[in-house]
Amino acid sequence: MSTALSPRISRLRQLIDHPATGAAERDAAQRMLDRILAKHPQAAGPRGDRDYGPRYHRVGRHATLASIAEMISQDIAFAKIFSMPQHRAELAERSPIRDAPIEISYSVATPYVGKIIVTIEGVPREWGWVSDCGIDNPSPALQELADELAEIMNAYNHDGSDIGKRFFACVRVPERTLIW
């Protein structure tokens, strides 16, 4: 977009929205704005209902999946260390990553193009699984941990009706996928 277009569009929008603008003047300004936006569609801004995660811009627009996976891994390690109960700077009273058993470890991998998988390893049976009629299902604590990890991953993602996802995220334990 030309740098000359931005102030012109801004002024026209201000004129249209101003309560003291007459009806004829408002209509003329609206027609001018419509003509400018028709000639320069990129001046209207992004189209559709795009949704960018809060950390999307942290890694850059053209970041590789490997660099995004590395940032996710660092965020998980930071959440595990920073939210230790003995630290005074603790922000959250409850943290699924902090409250998880100490033997749990996390690995972040990009085995396929466009996919990042976080694997939760070393989940103790008594903490992570609930038996229902002989079928092992994830416990509420394990599911909450998976939700927290998915939230960390999706902070680097984007989605919308006019753009696809940056990557597909998956949280799993070695035997089962928890979040697809």
pLDDT digits (tens, 9 = 90+) for 10-69: 888 888 888 888 888 888 888 888 888 888 766 555 556 778 888 887 877 778 899 999
Quick one: which of 30, 6, 35 has its CA closest to 16?
30
- Pairwise CA distance, residues 18 & 96, whole Å: 50
Confidence (pTM): 0.67
H or E element in which residue 110 lies: strand 105-112
- What's the pLDDT score for residue 91? 54
Among 130, 161, 141, 165, CA closest to 53 = 165
Q: Is the Cα dihedral 163, 167, 171, 174 positive or negative?
A: positive
Q: How far apart are CA 168 and CA 180, in angstroms?
A: 8
Strand pairing report for 115-121 and 168-173: parallel
Strand order in the sheet with 176-179: 105-112, 115-121, 168-173, 176-179
pLDDT value of residue 139: 94
pLDDT tens-digit map of 53-92 = 888 878 777 788 999 999 999 999 988 877 555 555 555 5
Lookup: tokens for 111: 């085995």
pLDDT of 148 over the 60 cut:
yes
